[in-house]
C-alpha cells in the first residue's frame, strides 16, 4: 500500500490482493476487498482496470506544425483528432514508447525532449499513468506502420491553432487535453 500524499487528510484504505475477473487484449478487470481505516461499514469489493501505462506525443515540426492523428474511437463511436500515442510496453521507457508510437502511427521522427508530464488516466477505475512525450524538429521519415486494427490519418495542425481546437471542443479527448496542458506549461509555443 502506498503512503498518502504529504499533508493528506485521508488515510489509504486497507486492500486485499487482487483477483482477475476478465482479461482483454488491452486491460484486465480486477477486484479486491478494500476497507476504510476509519469506517469499517464502507468495506467491500471494489473493481478496477489493470492497464499498462500509456503515452501521448506532442510532436512539432521545424515549421511549427503539430503532428496529429485522426482515428475512430470505439467508445464514442466517433472519429477524434488527437496526438499520436499508445501503450508503453512492459519495461519500456515512456519517452522511447512515445518516439516509437509517433513513428509507427505517422511515420514522423524527431528529437525527443523526453517526458514532460504524467497524469493518472482515471484513478477511480484505472491503475495506470499517462506520460506526455515532447518530440521536436519532426520530419516525415517513412510511411506509417500501424497495428493490425488501427486506421489512422495524419493531420498537420499549426501550433497556434491547438488552443482554439481545444476551446471549441474539436479536440476533446481528456488525455490529449492534459498532454497539451503539459506542453503549454513546458513552453512549447517557444520551441
- The SS3 of residue 127 is coil
Tens-place pLDDT, residues 97-131: 999 999 999 999 999 999 999 999 999 999 999 99
Angstrom CA distances, 130 to 13, 64, 93, 107, 144, stand at: 24, 24, 12, 22, 23
Q: Does 19 have pLDDT greater than 90? A: yes
Q: Per the structure block, which three cell numbers stand in for 168? A: 471549441
Whether residue 107 contacts residue 144, with contact meaning beta carbons closer than 8 Å, is answered with yes
Please name every residue paired with 70 in a beta bridge, in sequence order, or none if there are none. Answer: 81, 153
Q: Does 2 have pLDDT greater than 70? A: no
Q: Where in the chain is the domain with CATH 3.90.79.10?
A: 54-190
Phi and psi at residue 17, to the nearest 5°: -60, 150
Q: Which residues of 59-90 are buried (b: 16+ CB within 10 A; e: fewer)?
A: bbbeeebbbbbebeeeeeeeebbbbbbbbbee
Q: In terms of CATH architecture, what is 54-190?
A: Alpha-Beta Complex (3.90)
pLDDT of residue 165: 97
Tens-place pLDDT, residues 134-154: 999 999 999 888 877 889 999
Amino acid at each position: 500500500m502506498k503512503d498518502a500524499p504529504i499533508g493528506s487528510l485521508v488515510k489509504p484504505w486497507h486492500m486485499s490482493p487482487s483477483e482477475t475477473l476478465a482479461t482483454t487484449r488491452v486491460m484486465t478487470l480486477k477486484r479486491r476487498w478494500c476497507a476504510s481505516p476509519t469506517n469499517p461499514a464502507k468495506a467491500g469489493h471494489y473493481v478496477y482496470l489493470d492497464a499498462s501505462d500509456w503515452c501521448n506525443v506532442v510532436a512539432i515540426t521545424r515549421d511549427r506544425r503539430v503532428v496529429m492523428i485522426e482515428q475512430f474511437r470505439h467508445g464514442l463511436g466517433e472519429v477524434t483528432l488527437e496526438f499520436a500515442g499508445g501503450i508503453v510496453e512492459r519495461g519500456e521507457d515512456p519517452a522511447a514508447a512515445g518516439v516509437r508510437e509517433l513513428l509507427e502511427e505517422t511515420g514522423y521522427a524527431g528529437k525527443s525532449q523526453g517526458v514532460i508530464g504524467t497524469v493518472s488516466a482515471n484513478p477511480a477505475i484505472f491503475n495506470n499513468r499517462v506520460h506526455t512525450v515532447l518530440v521536436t524538429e519532426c520530419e516525415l521519415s517513412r510511411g506509417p506502420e500501424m497495428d493490425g486494427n488501427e486506421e489512422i490519418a495524419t493531420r498537420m495542425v499549426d501550433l497556434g491553432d491547438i488552443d482554439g481546437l481545444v476551446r471549441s471542443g474539436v479536440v476533446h479527448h481528456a488525455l490529449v487535453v492534459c498532454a497539451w496542458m503539459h506542453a503549454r506549461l513546458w513552453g512549447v509555443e517557444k520551441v
